[in-house]
Amino acid sequence: MKTKKTTKKQSLFSMKHLIILSLLCCTPLKVLVAQIGPIGPFPSSGTKYTEAKQTNIILFDTEQKKKRDSNFYVAWGKRSNWNKNIKLEVLEEGAVATRDGMFTDWGDLYLVSNWDSSNFENSNIRFGFGSNLRRNVSEKMRLTGKGWLGIGTTNPTAKLHLTGGAACIDGHELLLNDKSNLRMKGGSISNWAAFNFKADYDNTGDKQYIFRGKDDIGYITFDAWNQKNILHGKTTFKNDIVSEAQLSLKGNLTFTNTEEVQQLSTYKGLEIALNNTEESHFSVKNPIGVHALYVNLQGNVGIGGIDNPKEQLHINGKVKASAFITDLSSFPDYVFANDYELTSLSDIKKYIKANQHLPGMPSEKEVIKNGLDLKEISVLSVEKIEELYLHLITQQELISKLEERVHQLETAKK
């Protein structure tokens, strides 16, 4: 028997086919047919038939001519219809294919790439459709030597890399263990029904959902354990904000519409509650930062740059009103009572000379120091006017008596 020298590649090629056939032929076969050439009508020549009830080892294309479509077929059934019952074929380029079949094992099933470990990093297991020729396969999924699985991509850059479509989890959970990350470059997470995020699923401790930026700052924190959520940084809302509970802001609330007047409206009422802490207040500032309106913790109101009002209402500027009403416990009608002691003009003269202001009226120094009490000064002014009228009435009575006396004297001379 003549022997031929073969290259390492040819030896591996033949050995691969021998191993495959040895595994597949470990049970009795009905008909084992080997053909060199494309599938077609039953060939009249160049075909070998082997019928056996036990394992056979078969070599094909031993001359290594590598003719086009030089394939090896395993079929079940009779010789007359073998090409309709092909179960296994081995292509010349090394592809192993089944016809409506499966690759199965009673134990673990291994699909191994780079079994000789010659090029581990660049070896892949590729999954595809469309052809039994390597050059025509439409690749759909790839498992790299690093253990990275790519679906829709031939260059996965992570343990699981999906491109060009959606990932569907139907009725099951996507479990991320402690310190695991879910990273996306663009795209979205969507659901046809309600979408639930649940932290601390096992109810074992203080856990939150935190959305972080590139600077690792938690811009949005959902904290179900402590029943509070946090928004950090500038937040834009383009529609209504509805809150059925307390809404806490640690920062500024800015209305930035420069084209339309914005409104803050309520259906029933608006209460602004100040916390019982030092310097707690409510204020409205003008563009240069001056308090146009200021309300402190005591309820005192300052208007016009007053940021420390000492009175219930402190206004720095003019006040214009169509009416002014004040509550009084009494009014100076008591001046006209019979028992009212009217100060004589001579006593008033002495008081003015000594004090430089009317009795009962505040002095200039007091007004400058304490301000002018409009309620008090209005009552005092009415009181002084009524007293003045009483003095005028008394003087008028005296004048009338003097006129009558003068008239009597003039009449007597005539």
For 94-121, what is each residue's pLDDT tens digit? Answer: 778 887 778 888 888 888 888 777 776 7
pLDDT reading at 2 higher than 60: no
Residues in the chain: 414
Q: Does residue 278 form part of some domain?
A: no
Helix, strand, coil tally for the chain in percent (to 5): 20, 15, 65
84 vs 174, which has greater pLDDT?
A: 84
Q: Using an 8 Å Cβ cutoff, are 37 and 46 in contact? A: yes
Return the structure tokens found at 161: 């890399």
Q: Does residue 166 form part of some domain?
A: no
Return the structure tokens found at 297: 């913790």
User: How sure is the predictor about 356, in pLDDT bands with cuts at 50, 70 and 90?
Assistant: very high
Q: Does residue 285 form part of some domain?
A: no
110 vs 24, which has greater pLDDT?
A: 110
The number of beta carbons lying within 10 Å of the beta carbon of residue 31 is 16
- C-alpha pair distances (Å), 101 with each of 34, 85, 89: 18, 11, 11
The predicted structure's pLDDT at residue 34: 43
Strand order in the sheet with 138-144: 124-129, 138-144, 149-151, 160-162
Return the structure tokens found at 128: 């595809």
Q: Does residue 371 form part of some domain?
A: yes
The predicted structure's pLDDT at residue 187: 67
Q: What is the DSSP letter of 412?
A: H
Return the structure tokens found at 352: 């003015």
Q: What is the DSSP letter of 384?
A: H
The predicted structure's pLDDT at residue 361: 92
Q: Using an 8 Å Cβ cutoff, are 209 and 221 in contact? A: yes
The total domain count for the chain is: 2
The predicted structure's pLDDT at residue 358: 93
Q: Using an 8 Å Cβ cutoff, are 141 and 153 in contact? A: no
Q: What is the DSSP letter of 258?
A: S
The predicted structure's pLDDT at residue 367: 92
Window from 55-59, 72-76, 234-238, 255-259 with minimum mean pLDDT: 55-59
How many alpha carbons fall within 13 Å on the CB side of residue 284?
A: 7
* Strands 209-212 and 160-162, bridge-based pairing: unpaired
Q: Using an 8 Å Cβ cutoff, are 359 and 408 in contact? A: no
Three-state secondary-structure class, residue 269: coil
Which residues share a beta bridge with 97?
A: 89
Which stretch of DSSP H or E encloses residue 161? strand 160-162
The predicted structure's pLDDT at residue 315: 92
pLDDT reading at 364 higher than 90: yes
Window from 47-56, 136-145, 302-311, 362-371 with minimum mean pLDDT: 47-56
Rounded-to-integer distance, Cα 95 and Cα 74, Å: 14
pLDDT reading at 391 higher than 70: yes
Q: Where are the beta strands (DSSP E) in 68-137?
A: 72-75, 86-90, 96-98, 124-129
Last residue of one domain, picked from the residues 68, 98, 128 = 98
Place of tokens 């479990």: 175
User: How sure is the predictor about 78, in pLDDT bands with cuts at 50, 70 and 90?
Assistant: confident
Q: Does residue 139 form part of some domain?
A: no
pLDDT digits (tens, 9 = 90+) for 42-71: 455 555 555 666 666 666 666 666 655 567
Q: What is the largest CA-CA distance in the chain?
A: 192
Which stretch of DSSP H or E encloses residue 9? helix 8-24
Give the domain range for residue 365.
Answer: 332-413
* Strands 282-285 and 86-90, bridge-based pairing: unpaired
DSSP notation for 298-361: T--EEESS-SS--SSEEESS----S------S--GGGGGSTT--PPPHHHHHHHHHHHSS-TTS
Last residue of one domain, picked from the residues 98, 114, 140 = 98
Last residue of one domain, picked from the residues 73, 98, 123 = 98
Q: Does residue 312 form part of some domain?
A: no
Q: Does residue 104 form part of some domain?
A: no
pLDDT digits (tens, 9 = 90+) for 197-251: 666 666 666 666 677 776 777 777 777 667 677 777 777 777 777 777 777 777 7
Q: Does residue 159 form part of some domain?
A: no
Rounded-to-integer distance, Cα 217 and Cα 322, Å: 56
The number of beta carbons lying within 10 Å of the beta carbon of residue 161 is 16
CB burial of 246-274 (b: ≥16 within 10 Å; e: otherwise) equals: eeeeeeeeeeeeeeeeeeeeeeeeeeeee
Q: What are phi and psi of 139, to 5 degrees?
A: -70, 135
Return the structure tokens found at 354: 């000594």
Considering the chain, what is the average pLDDT of its residues?
Answer: 77
| Residues contacting 326, CB < 8 A, separation 6+ | 374, 375, 378
